[in-house]
Amino acid sequence: MKKILIGIVAVALLGFAFTVKSNNDTTSIKTKKVATTVGINFFHGTWEEALDKAKEEDKLIFLDAYASWCGPCKRMARTTFMNKSVGDFYNKNFINFKMDMEKHPQGRRLSQKFHLRAYPSLYFVNSKEEVSHKIVGGLSVSQILQLGKEALATK
């Protein structure tokens, strides 16, 4: 009886150990793959570094001005910004920057400077921190591609 109980416990522990390891490995692989291959790649430096990069590369900054509680902002992050054609176009033509305007250190200053009134607000900003093009509201894939083309034409 004692041998049977020890055997059952050993099998259960081995099964649990392999299950946990397998799930963690699969999750990390999926996360890495999605983060590097789909949609808009947003810049991970500071706002000042984004301005410098825009000047260096002679590009506009695409600024997704959002708030954590904003439903249309969340929907765009899950759908429009994750679209491959949107990512290809925006990654090639802009320095992309996401900013929670209520929590980011520069959020309040830029909200006032850019006259932010609603979320999401999408801005195209040059390296001198001047808005060249903007729109308010959630956009579909075709709408955001058209917006990007218009922003490039006004550069």
Q: How far apart are CA 62 and CA 65, in angstroms?
A: 9
| pLDDT value, residue 10 | 42
pLDDT over 70 (residue 34): no
Q: What is the pTM of this model?
A: 0.76
Q: What are phi and psi of 18, to 5 degrees?
A: -70, -35
Tell me which residues are annotated as active site: 70, 73
Mean pLDDT of the chain: 83
| pLDDT computed for residue 37 by the predictor | 56
Identify the CA nearest to 62 among candidates 108, 94, 100: 94
Instruction: Check whether the bond before 72 is cis (ω within 30° of 0).
Output: no
